[in-house]
Amino acid sequence: MKKRQKKGPAVRTRDWTTGHEFAFSHDRARHRKAASVPAPPEPDLAPEAVKPNAVVVSHTGRWAFIQIDGRELMAEIDGRLGRGDATVLAPGDEIQVEFADDTPIVRGIAPRRSKLSRLAHVSSALAEQIIAANVDLLVIVAAAARPNFKPGLVDRYLIAAQVGNVEPVLVVNKMDLVNAEPNEVRLYREIGMSVLPTSCETGEGLEALRTVLSGKLSVVAGHSGVGKSSLLNALDPMIDIATQEVSQSNEKGRHTTTNARLHTLSGGIRVIDTPGARNLGVWNVSPEEVAYYFPELAEVGEGCRFRDCTHTHEPGCAVRESVEAGETSEARYASYLRIRESLQKDA
């Protein structure tokens, strides 16, 4: 039985240098197939030929806010790149921009080193939606309370991070509202994740967060109302992102951040703030692959009687035995079952 290494994060990442499974052209082919949209003529610039001179800040179907030469401009997206196609651009994309009569036009998108994607309804079909591109870090923000800590959503983001080749970090915000960290947080420390307790009220953990984000491009994600935008404001009051009161009646945050957007903060911090999500559709993972993304389940699962054990009902399942013996977290196992089941429904 192979032992998990004790050093470093146990979460797995795909090798980004081999194969072109996630290359841009493949994404579009996959999307087109799912949406049954005829493919437009290929753009002039193949991803490999793109010489990036700008970065995408945010975009709508037809227009993109871009950073070029230290300025922010609105650029038109070349129709051949699939105008109106929600997956064509994402904040963080490195692009080649050319000027036609002073109008900046996005001509090509460089291959992505990493990305955060979700399964979403695009043109009434389920397809990949890229939330952020070329990010070094996925900052999964959860609240210690208001709204309550939800391991299920954290687990989904954790899978998305591994699929997209992004290093995950868990921020547990609103620590001022509790006496101690929620119990489930321990699970994430145990599987080797960095966990940062923070509070925008007391300032706890903000310096540590600043250090983690410094010099990197990160994407901040999590349930709405957990304090994603507040954390960015606390790190740099100059950016002044709109935040939302959590409604007293149902304790559920409402959506304030409507579009993912790249912010450049002081201290060499670049972060993409995303709208709150109640859920995250897991993209590009089959039901059989889910266990692979729960490193501690995958490790225990090597002791199952059957090599292709689904850990749902089989005799001699080491995972179920370990959960029953209290050695493997019931919450993570339940989350595994739920995600597996939801992927079977999507298939």
Ligand X SMILES: Nc1nc2c(ncn2[C@@H]2O[C@H](COP(=O)(O)OP(=O)(O)O)[C@@H](O)[C@H]2O)c(=O)[nH]1
* Closest CB 178 distance from Mg ion, rounded Å: 21
Q: Which positions ≥6 away from 23 have C-beta within 8 Å?
A: 47, 111
Q: Which two tokens stand for residue 53?
A: 């001179």
**Which is nearer to Mg ion, 28 or 228 (by Cβ)?**
228
CA 210 to chain centre: 19
Q: CA end-to-end span of the chain, whole Å?
A: 32
**Cα dihedral sign, 51-54-55-56:** negative
CA angle, 282 then 117 then 34, to 5°? 75
**Which is nearer to ligand X, 81 or 209 (by Cβ)?**
209
**Which is nearer to ligand X, 125 or 178 (by Cβ)?**
178
Residue type, 119: L
| Contact criterion met (CB below 8 Å) for 184 and 175 | no
Q: Which two tokens stand for residue 88?
A: 């064509």
* Closest CB 323 distance from Zn ion, rounded Å: 10
**Which is nearer to ligand X, 59 or 228 (by Cβ)?**
228
**Cα dihedral sign, 307-313-315-321:** positive
Q: Which does 119 bind (CB under 5 to 8 A by kind): ligand X, Mg ion, Zn ion, none?
A: none
- Tell me how far apart the alpha carbons of residues 265 and 221 are, in angstroms, rounded to a whole number: 17
- Tell me how far apart the alpha carbons of residues 320 and 314 are, in angstroms, rounded to a whole number: 9
Q: 302-331 mask for ligand X (x: CB under 6 A)?
A: ------------------------------
- Tell me how far apart the alpha carbons of residues 126 and 34 are, in angstroms, rounded to a whole number: 7
Q: Which does 173 bind (CB under 5 to 8 A by kind): Zn ion, Mg ion, ligand X, none?
A: ligand X
Determine the 3-state secondary structure of 268 from DSSP.
Answer: coil
The verdict on 201 binding ligand X (CB under 6 A) reads yes
Restricted to residues 145-174, the positions that interact with ligand X (CB under 6 A) are 173-174
Residue written as token pair 């947080």 = 185
* Closest CB 199 distance from ligand X, rounded Å: 4
Closest residue by Cα to residue 129 from 12, 269, 292, 283: 283
Q: 219-258 mask for ligand X (x: CB under 6 A)?
A: -----xxxxxxx------------xxxx------x--xx-
The verdict on 319 binding Zn ion (CB under 5 A) reads yes
**Which is nearer to Mg ion, 58 or 257 (by Cβ)?**
257
- Tell me how far apart the alpha carbons of residues 205 and 234 are, in angstroms, rounded to a whole number: 11
Q: Which does 304 bind (CB under 5 to 8 A by kind): ligand X, Zn ion, Mg ion, none?
A: Zn ion
Which window, 31-39, 69-77, 242-250, 299-307, contacts Zn ion (CB under 5 A)?
A: 299-307
Q: Give residues in contact with Mg ion (CB under 5 A).
A: 228-229, 256-257
* Closest CB 220 distance from Mg ion, rounded Å: 9
Residue written as token pair 């997956």 = 87
* Closest CB 333 distance from Zn ion, rounded Å: 11
The verdict on 317 binding Zn ion (CB under 5 A) reads yes
Identify the burial level of 223 via C-beta atoms within 10 angstroms of its C-beta, where 0-12 means exposed, 13-18 middle and 19 or more buried.
Answer: buried
Q: Which does 187 bind (CB under 5 to 8 A by kind): ligand X, Mg ion, Zn ion, none?
A: none
* Closest CB 146 distance from ligand X, rounded Å: 7
**What residues make contact with Zn ion under the rule CB under 5 A?**
304, 309, 311, 317, 319
**What residues make contact with ligand X under the rule CB under 6 A?**
173-174, 176-177, 199-201, 224-230, 243-246, 253, 256-257, 276
